[in-house]
A and B are shown apart, each in its own frame.
Chain A
């Protein structure tokens, strides 16, 4: 797809260079975790007309379903749409080089200073906050699913809660491989949700369209 005519070569090269610097600026500016990066990519899509808002939302939804970091998948999708595999490579290096380098430098710096008493004290505050961030992320992932589950009736809701509790314990016990836990939970879900189809109050399959 996207065959390029020979005379467009210089245009393309310039296009790739511009693309690289645009992603680079996203990569440098995106302090403060994924939400900042997401916001900047969305902004760039609108500003530079990379993809439409609808394509953007679609790509983001699909990114949730395939493996890997969602923001990287979004970058791959946009890069591919703009310039094929060259666009993918350009966008990825632009986004990741600064962030990865700063992450590495910060870690290197941290390993140098981690034994200083005041740094230890600061980290003793940051580490519990990291746990808090992880829990907040989990709550944010879980709440939309539970909202759907409540509408599906008491049995379905109970199944959801039970599966989360069981997988949590299985992981905390550190005896079962995470992959096995995921596959088993998926398989058990097919079975349990199929069995409880009758208990769902006229919900599934009655959406218009």
Chain B
């Protein structure tokens, strides 16, 4: 494994994403292709990332640890902090051009693409995460609870863990 390539993959993911799981499509494609991460690494990292404190985007630190230990975690953290530093400069430039119609259309298209990418990756991940109709019920319940915005994320996930234990553990 080449460390620089590894770091560049994480940095690229962060550079071309807009928060949360935005870097997932990039990491998913590049790391899987090279065999540097498994499908299970991804779904586990996302799960740990949701459970842990801070922005949910920090999930890739967990992926870094699962694929390259502590060094991987630190590299992933660095990759996450560099692009936001650039945003200070980009902001003033964007404010100048955001009213132009082609720019509006382009950014609308980008938003749609980001949503499509995230749906596509979720589809790939669900092949590992979902094994039967009980799991589909968990997915649907989670969507409902999350969209209601009444239950904190951490509570939803802990409930899901409890359900998993009751279904598969006993």
List chain A positions with a Cβ less than 8 A from chain B.
27-37, 62-73, 75-77, 80, 88, 92, 95-96, 98-100, 102-104, 106-108, 110-111, 114, 117-118, 120-142, 145, 160, 163-174, 177-179, 181-182, 185-190, 193-194, 204
A96-B54, A139-B143, A167-B112 given as contacts; is B122 within 8 A of A68 (CB)?
no
Q: Known contacts A76-B85, A132-B138; is A27 also within 8 Å of B118 by CB?
A: no
Asked if B15 is an interface residue, CB under 8 A from chain A, the answer is yes
B interface secondary structure, majority: helix
A contact residues around B12 at 8 Å (CB): 179
Provide the bound-state CA to CA distance between A88 and B169, in Å.
Answer: 46
Residues of A close to B117: CB separation below 8 A = 167-168, 171, 178, 181-182
| Contact across chains for B65 and A178 when beta carbons are under 8 A apart | no
Point out the residue from A64, A137, A166, A179 that lies within 8 Å of B118, measured CB to CB. Answer: A137
Instruction: Write the B134-170 contact mask toward A (1 if CB under 8 angstroms, else 0).
Output: 0110111111001100001111110111111101111
Query: Chain A residue with minimal CB distance to B119?
Result: A168
Q: Besides the contacts A73-B87, A131-B129, A131-B139, what 15 more A-B pairs have beta carbons closer than 8 Å?
A: A33-B55, A37-B53, A65-B91, A96-B77, A102-B53, A106-B51, A121-B164, A124-B167, A126-B47, A126-B160, A135-B119, A140-B147, A163-B113, A185-B112, A193-B108
Bound complex: CA of A93 vs CA of B155, how far in Å?
Answer: 27
Given the complex, which residues of A lie within 8 Å of B119, measured CB to CB? 135, 138, 164, 167-168, 171-172
Task: Choose among B70, B105, B124 the residue with the greatest number of A CB atoms under 10 Å from its CB.
Answer: B105
> In the bound complex, what is the Cα–Cα distance between A27 and B55 (angstroms)?
9
A65 touches B129 (CB 8 A): no
Q: Please, how many angstroms separate the alpha-carbon atoms of A73 and B141 in the complex?
A: 32
10 nearest A-B pairs in the assembled complex, by CB-CB distance: A125-B164, A167-B116, A171-B120, A189-B109, A99-B54, A132-B142, A121-B169, A129-B160, A136-B146, A68-B83
Give B80's nearest chain A residue, CB to CB: A69
Q: Is the CB of A189 within 8 A of B108?
A: yes
A-B contact pairs, 26 of them (CB 8 A): A34-B56, A62-B94, A68-B18, A70-B20, A96-B54, A96-B58, A98-B54, A103-B61, A103-B62, A103-B73, A110-B48, A122-B161, A123-B47, A125-B165, A126-B51, A126-B160, A126-B161, A131-B130, A135-B143, A140-B147, A141-B114, A167-B115, A172-B119, A177-B29, A189-B105, A194-B102
- What are the interface flags for B12-46 relative to A under an 8 Å C-beta threshold, 1 for contact and 0 otherwise? 10111111110001100100100000000001111
- B87 and A107 within 8 A (CB): no
| A-B interface pairs (CB < 8 A), number | 372
The answer to whether A31 touches B154, judged by C-beta atoms less than 8 angstroms apart, is yes
Q: Does B46 lie within 8 Å of A103, measured CB to CB?
A: no
Residues of B within 8 A of A (CB): 12, 14-21, 25-26, 29, 32, 43-59, 61-62, 65-66, 70, 73, 77, 80-88, 90-91, 94-95, 98, 101-102, 105-126, 128-131, 135-136, 138-143, 146-147, 152-157, 159-165, 167-170
Tell me, in angstroms, the Cα distance from A28 to B53 when the chains sit together: 7
User: Is A133 a contact of B142 with CB atoms below 8 Å?
Assistant: yes
**Which of A77, A100, A133, A169 counts the most chain B CB atoms within 10 A?**
A133
Complex: chain B residue closest to A188, CB-CB: B109
Contact residues in B for A102 (Cβ distance below 8 Å):
52-54
> Complex: how many Å from CA A124 to CA B162?
10
> Is A132 a contact of B164 with CB atoms below 8 Å?
no
| A172, B124: Cβ atoms closer than 8 Å | yes
